[in-house]
Amino acid sequence: MPRSSWRLDAVDVTPTQMMQGNNPMQYLQLEFVDGVTGSDGVSSLLCVNNGTTGQLKVTLLADPNNDTSLQQGEEWPEAIGTIFSADVAAAQNIPLPDGGTYQTFPYQFWPFSVVTSAVAASIGVTGTGVMDAKKLGALRALRAGHHGQRPRGIVPPHLHR
């Protein structure tokens, strides 16, 4: 049905404890083709609507296998990104106890994993992806506990802008 446009934001949410200066180590460079990058470093695709498409360029900047803080309880070393779909036209100002306000709006998020070629090969993922439905189902089931909830470190878009 016709509706107002929304915004897509791409964010690296890899739950690392390694630091680069005062910030967590960046594992993913995320850039929407024909998008914009805000002063906060978040790549956005503005004015997305029914029937439009977007392309996200993802670059793995460092090997997650070298980060011991990522190897605690994970099935395999991975970087984690998230795409937020934010309905900014439905923004609401919420009052705070101190008399101020903050802005929020409805959003959905879609986490994804990025692994090295070596890790992909070890779990049976080839350059063409996983074509076997049973194997894909098994990989999804294995990941369900990890990706079935909001990944650690995800900050909703209303806190980004």
Residue 150 pLDDT > 50 = no
- Single out the residue of 14, 36, 32 nearest to residue 23, CA to CA: 14
Count of structural domains within the chain = 1
Please give the average per-residue pLDDT across 30-34, as a whole number. 95
Q: Find the domain containing 125 and state its range.
A: 6-159
pLDDT digits (tens, 9 = 90+) for 100-146: 998 888 889 999 888 888 888 887 777 766 666 566 666 666 665 44
Max CA separation in the chain (angstroms): 56
- Tell whether 1 is covered by a domain: no
| Residue indicated by tokens 């906060």 | 40
- Single out the residue of 159, 8, 160, 138 nearest to residue 75, CA to CA: 138
- Single out the residue of 96, 120, 12 nearest to residue 56, CA to CA: 12
pLDDT, residue 159, reads 44
Contacts of 99 (CB under 8 A, 6+ apart): none
- Single out the residue of 40, 44, 33 nearest to residue 9, CA to CA: 44
pLDDT digits (tens, 9 = 90+) for 45-90: 988 888 888 999 999 999 998 888 876 655 788 899 999 998 888 8
Neighbours of 144 (CB within 10 A): 10
- Tell whether 55 is covered by a domain: yes
DSSP one-letter code for 26: P
